[in-house]
């Protein structure tokens, strides 16, 4: 009778480890296959980028084409409006001609009357200066000096430096007393458009003093009323 002896199990090895099949892995694909797969992946990536760029370019082209069409439509509209205005201008040819003539006349007046004198401004200056001195101006008489070749003489006056006299005035009026007349004469002498005022006559009438003053008009009174405004040099 045969006997079988059982070997004791190694206590360090568990039953799970005894029955486990070890895992073994290996890459058996050839290098050519791996390279081919990588090449296909790269080509797909490049193709995707190209498709994206083409899509963007197509989108931009469509947008640009629309903008060009809008600009073309606007140009056509403006061109039609300009043509309509040109056709309408024929109906107002008379108005355009009058405007052109008006501009021509204005230029001629600016040239012809560039050194003109505003009598209204000068008279307002005399009256306003009289009111400031408590004097009432009742009359103004005078005129411009005749000149040779259009150039008035330059004279030296006792109360001023060299000035160009272009005319003279006789101012008449009334005042409550002599100091008011003196104040008026002094104020006239300080006005740039006038020069050398002096009292020629003074008499009492009904409690008031009537006076007569002679004053020269200087070239500064020329302001060219068609080219610039004539300021009132006198005042209250």
Q: Which two tokens stand for residue 236?
A: 């209250």
141 - beta bridge partners?
170
pLDDT > 70: what percent of the chain?
Answer: 71
**pLDDT: which is higher, 109 or 55:** 55
pLDDT tens figures, 80-138: 888 888 777 777 777 778 888 888 877 776 666 555 677 788 888 889 998 998 899 99
**pLDDT of res. 107:** 74
- 227, with CB counted inside 10 A (0-12, 13-18, 19+), is middle
Cα within 13 Å of Cα(112), Cβ side: 6
**pLDDT: which is higher, 74 or 150:** 74
**pLDDT of res. 3:** 53
Banded pLDDT at 56 (limits 50, 70, 90): very high
Is 235 a residue whose pLDDT tops 50? no
Is 150 a residue whose pLDDT tops 50? no
Where are the domains positioned within the chain? 31-91, 119-221
pLDDT tens figures, 172-208: 999 999 999 999 999 998 888 888 898 998 888 777 8
Is 23 a residue whose pLDDT tops 70? no
Summary mean pLDDT of the chain: 77
Mean pLDDT of the 208-217 span: 90
**pLDDT: which is higher, 140 or 32:** 140
pLDDT tens figures, 159-169: 555 778 888 89
pTM: 0.48
For 6, 50, the CA distances from 3, given in Å and listed in that order, are 10, 82
pLDDT > 90: what percent of the chain?
Answer: 22
Q: Helix, strand, or coil here: 199?
A: strand
Q: Which two tokens stand for residue 105?
A: 């006349």
Is 224 a residue whose pLDDT tops 80? no
Please give, one letter per residue, the 3-state secondary structure of 69-117: HHHHHHHHHHHHHHHHHHHHHCCCHHHHHHHHHHHHHHHHHHHHCCCCE
The answer to which of 13-22, 24-33, 112-121, 168-177 has the lowest mean pLDDT is: 13-22
Please give the distance of CA 60 from its chain centroid, rounded to a whole number. Answer: 40
Is 60 a residue whose pLDDT tops 80? yes
Instruction: Compute the CA torsion angle 158, 159, 161, 167 (nearest 10 deg).
Output: -90
In terms of phi and psi (left: phi > 0; alpha: psi -120 to 50; beta: otherwise), the region of 224 is left
CATH topology of domain 119-221: Alpha-Beta Plaits (3.30.70)
């Amino acid at each position: 009778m045969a006997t079988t002896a059982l070997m004791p199990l190694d206590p360090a090895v568990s039953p799970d480890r005894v029955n486990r099949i070890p895992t073994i892995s290996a890459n058996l694909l050839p290098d050519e296959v791996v390279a081919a797969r990588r090449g296909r992946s790269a080509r797909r990536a490049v193709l995707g980028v190209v498709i994206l760029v083409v899509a963007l370019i197509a989108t931009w082209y469509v947008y640009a084409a629309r903008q060009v069409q809008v600009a073309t439509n606007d140009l056509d509209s403006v061109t039609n409006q300009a043509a309509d205005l040109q056709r309408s201008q024929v109906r107002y040819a008379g108005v355009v001609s009058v405007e052109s003539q008006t501009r021509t006349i204005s230029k001629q007046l600016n040239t012809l009357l560039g050194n003109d004198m505003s009598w209204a401004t000068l008279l307002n200056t005399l009256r306003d200066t009289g009111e400031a001195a408590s004097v009432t101006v009742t009359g103004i008489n005078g005129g411009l000096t005749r000149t040779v070749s259009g150039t008035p003489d330059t004279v030296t006056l006792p109360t001023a430096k060299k000035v160009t006299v272009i005319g003279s005035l006789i101012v008449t009026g009334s005042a409550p007393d002599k100091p008011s007349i003196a104040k008026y004469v002094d104020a006239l002498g300080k006005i740039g458009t006038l020069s050398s005022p002096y009292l020629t006559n003074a008499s009492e009438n009904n409690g008031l003093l009537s006076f007569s003053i002679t004053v020269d008009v200087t070239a500064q009174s020329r302001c060219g009323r068609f080219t610039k405004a004539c300021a009132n040099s006198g005042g209250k």
